[in-house]
Structure 1
Amino acid sequence: MPSKKESYESMMRELERIVNNMENEELPLEDAMKSYEDGVKLCDKLYKILNKAEGKIKLLGENGEEEFKKAGDSYEQ
């Protein structure tokens, strides 16, 4: 399981590895359940990272739009 400081990309690679392992190997039930649990935890972390990034993009977009409108107002005079 990746540590909390790993990058989004490394967590995605780990999730892909888990999925491939579950698809391509006949795992004992306990191993399959552990892999599934690890995959769900990774999905949750990845989802949180994406939501945080989306929020930043929206905030930057809104602020950029406001700044653009203010700059446009000064040119209209």
Structure 2
Amino acid sequence: MAKQEPINFEQSFSQLEALVHKLESGELSLEDSLKSFEQGVSLVRSCQTALNEAEQRVRILMQEDDGLATRDFDVQS
């Protein structure tokens, strides 16, 4: 059996958006809504883990000789 490769942040987020649209449509049965919700929770956790790991990598890259130099991230840049 081939090992399934983990999906990346963008794929997880895209799948999460699609699930939200399906749930918001109100056309799913209760059982399908619950399954979609469970899948969504799993995707949110996956996305959060990816974001936490990315933040940690940025912090490591910003590390200076005298300790960690944290700076505000400017989204506009």
Interval of TM-score (by shorter of Structure 1 and Structure 2): 0.7 to 0.9
Greater share of strand residues, 1 or 2? 2
Aligned-residue RMSD, C-alpha: 1.7
Q: In the TM superposition, what whole-angstrom CA distance separates every residue of 1:12-50 from its partner, at most 9, and x where no partner exists?
A: 110000000000132111100000000000000110011
Structure whose CA Rg is larger? 1
TM-score by length of 2: 0.73
Q: Which runs of at least 4 in structure 1 moved beyond 3 Å after TM superposition?
A: none
TM-score by length of 1: 0.73
- Unaligned residue ranges in structure 1 (runs of 5+): 68-77
Give the number of aligned pairs: 63
- Unaligned residue ranges in structure 2 (runs of 5+): 67-77
Is structure 2 residue 57 aligned with structure 1 residue 46? no
Greater share of helix residues, 1 or 2? 1
